[in-house]
Amino acid sequence: MSFEWPWQYNFPPFFTLQPNVDTRQKQLAAWCSLVLSYCRHHKLYTVDVMEAQESPVFNNKKIERKLSVEAIQVVFEELRKKGNLEWLDKNKSRCLVMWRRPEEWGKLIYQWVSKNGMNNSVFTLYELSNGDDTDGEEFHGLEDWMLQRSLQALQTEGKAEIISMDDGKGVYCV
């Protein structure tokens, strides 16, 4: 399935931050939506800002337009304010993109556990993110850091307990 670009992507002014406050807010909302949709489609969780400028999401070769690094930083900062991004370093050169928040992933995992009658079972993190039983589930292939945060969210809700095992971590789902 190929990624479907929004109409703005082929509109050259979209690649220049607009000076009008109202227009800029709408533009940033469109950029945030595009970045999250693109990362979700391609299952991207970690983004390097310098590499991002050459990525198709910020560089439309068809119309020969690309968003500047400064504008990419503005978009990423907007995503951070919304809780969809965390910087990995003080220089803000690499970030984690959360196109779905940990609580949302936790909910999906718990729904899968319940739907399959696997409550009161112990799973390794590997089984949840890479096991044959989860193949085809949205959380299959979820990066370890996000899986752990998702399970922590479930633990906070009292629906799971993270446990240490000989070969790493596991989780007991209530």
Contact of 102 with 112, CB cutoff 8 Å: no
Q: Give pLDDT, residue 168.
A: 75
Q: Which two tokens stand for residue 10?
A: 């082929």
Q: The tokens 């696997």 sit on which residue?
A: 118
Q: Give pLDDT, residue 169.
A: 82
Contact of 160 with 151, CB cutoff 8 Å: yes
Q: Give pLDDT, residue 42.
A: 92
pTM: 0.83
Q: Cα 107–108–110 angle (5° rounding)?
A: 65
Q: Give pLDDT, residue 5.
A: 96
Euclidean distance between the first and the last CA atom of the chain, given in angstroms as a whole number? 36
- Residues of the chain scoring pLDDT < 50: none
Q: Could you give the domains of the chain?
A: 7-97 (1.10.10.570), 102-173 (1.10.10.10)
Q: Give pLDDT, residue 174.
A: 84
